[in-house]
A and B are shown apart, each in its own frame.
Chain A
Amino acid sequence: MRNRYLLMSILALMFSAALASSAFAAETAAPAQAEHEGVPLKPAPIVEIGKFAVTNSMLVTWIVAAGIIVFAQIATRTIKPIPSGIQNFWEWLVESLYNFLEGIIGRELVRKTFWFFATIFIFILFVNWFGLIPGVGTIGWGHYDTNGAFHIDRPLLRGGNADLNMTTAMAAIFFLLWIVWALQAQGVGGFLRHLFAPKGETTGVLKILMAVIFFMVGWLEVISILFRPISLSFRLFGNIYAGESILEAMSTMNPYLAPFLPLPFYFMEILVGIVQALVFMLLTAVFTMLIAQHDHGPERAH
């Protein structure tokens, strides 16, 4: 069982990294604005092969993905019945995630979907924290201005989730999986009934009225579902990008206080990193649970 999770997690990581790099990379070819203060919105390309650009944030996602895969492989190479060291850490992480998700989305669903939620949590968490390592965003190619101060134009590394391409790729993958899981759990008819059919018990004229109302409400629900990947990607991107910007602003504000000013914000960013990973995982899990749970008919009150 654990091997299957590992394999699927690795596949999901590779798939998301590939999607993030290929599908959206074409937009990132513009060079970073030289005169722009603060962190630029777009990641900077490091290597360009034709229309395909390897950007600094893609590099970070690849490094983190490779790191997680190698770490998991080393931890599970010699499995011992009484775990110690990194095997112990890995088992603790996976087991507590499993139990946490089981409490939220239920036993059957967690068995089927755990690989995705655990992958997304671990990956987002380590990408967020990797972006906080000193040197990410501050080492790279730049220029000297007229005062002789050095400005970084193209940092070698950039926090992976401070790139909208990456978060959009993850949200898009989740949206596809959500549709697949919803259709598997409900079927096409059940899926449509879940969206549009009236709930609750009514009779007579009221029933017709309720059917019309619930049909209209169904369209509202469709819009809100279509906005889910957008809000998922923008939430993660916005939080991490704002964190990068605030760290940059704090370290360039005052040359004498530069070593101390960003410190409290580093601690806040460590917290934001884990909270955003948790929020992404929880939201995707709850969305899946909402569509995949079976309606038990009218007897299920409110």
Chain B
Amino acid sequence: MTGSIHVGLAAMGVGIGVGLTGLGMATAVGRNPGAFTQVLVHGILAIAFTEAIVFYALFLLGH
């Protein structure tokens, strides 16, 4: 078995991070359903920035 541990670690961290963001979004919408759109926009942005980390790791893998 071969592989790179750093992509795995990045994917693990990103999974936790995206999950926490989702938790925050769900809690926020639950408390204030009127703010759905704003929560969605910020949540999607946060998820995008979190997700980018795994792509940095993936691209480091190539070298």
Contact = CB atoms under 8 A, between A and B. Distances in A.
Contact of B44 (A224, A234, A283): A283
B32 to A, nearest CB: 16
A231 B52 contact: yes
A236 to B, nearest CB: 12
A260 B52 CA distance: 36
A224 B55 contact: no
A230 B45 CA distance: 15
14 contacts: A103-B37, A104-B37, A104-B40, A224-B49, A227-B55, A230-B59, A231-B48, A231-B52, A234-B55, A234-B58, A235-B51, A279-B44, A282-B40, A286-B45
Q: A230, A231, A279, A286 — which one has the most chain B CB atoms within 10 A of its CB?
A: A231
Nearest to A227: B52
Contacts of A283: 44-45, 48
Contact of B52 (A224, A282, A286): A224
B23 interface: no
Interface in B13-58: 37, 40-41, 44-45, 48-49, 51-52, 55-56, 58
Nearest to B47: A279
Majority secondary structure of chain B interface residues (helix, strand, loop or mixed): helix
A230 B55 contact: yes
Interface residues of A, number: 13
Interface residues of B, number: 13
Contacts of A231: 48, 51-52, 55
Contacts of A279: 44
A278 B42 CA distance: 15
B58 to A, nearest CB: 8
A171 to B, nearest CB: 12
Contacts of B37: 103-104
Contacts of B45: 283, 286
Contact of B41 (A234, A235, A286): A286
Nearest to B36: A103
A162 B51 CA distance: 19
A282 B44 contact: yes
B63 to A, nearest CB: 15
Nearest to B37: A103
B17 to A, nearest CB: 14
B37 to A, nearest CB: 5
A227 B51 CA distance: 11
Interface string A260-302: 0000000000000000000100110010000000000000000
A85 B24 CA distance: 41
Contacts of A228: 48
